[in-house]
């Protein structure tokens, strides 16, 4: 999918995360911003997902972010 808004399946493919992990992050507020235009629809903006990934970049392991 190449649109501005993408579905959780696309985010999972883009990030390598499972749908369950994305659901956990939505519930606990730790993931990328998401949109719920209807009670059963979840969408993400591709640019916000990529920005969230970029913000998690580290240069060393073992150091808290």
Q: For the residues 30-51, what does the mean pLDDT come to?
A: 96
Would you list the DSSP string of 9-41? HHHHHHHT--HHHHHHHHHHT-S---EEEETTE
Does the pLDDT at position 49 exceed 50?
Answer: yes
38: β partners: 41
Mean residue pLDDT across the chain? 92
CA distance 29 to 26: 5
The pTM (predicted TM-score) of the whole model is: 0.84
């Amino acid at each position: 999918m190449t649109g501005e808004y993408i579905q959780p399946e696309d985010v999972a493919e883009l990030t390598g995360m499972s749908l369950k992990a994305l659901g956990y992050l939505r519930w606990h507020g730790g993931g990328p911003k998401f949109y719920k235009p209807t009670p059963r629809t979840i969408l993400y903006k591709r640019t916000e997902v990529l920005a969230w990934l970029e913000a998690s970049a580290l240069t060393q392991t073992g150091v808290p972010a």
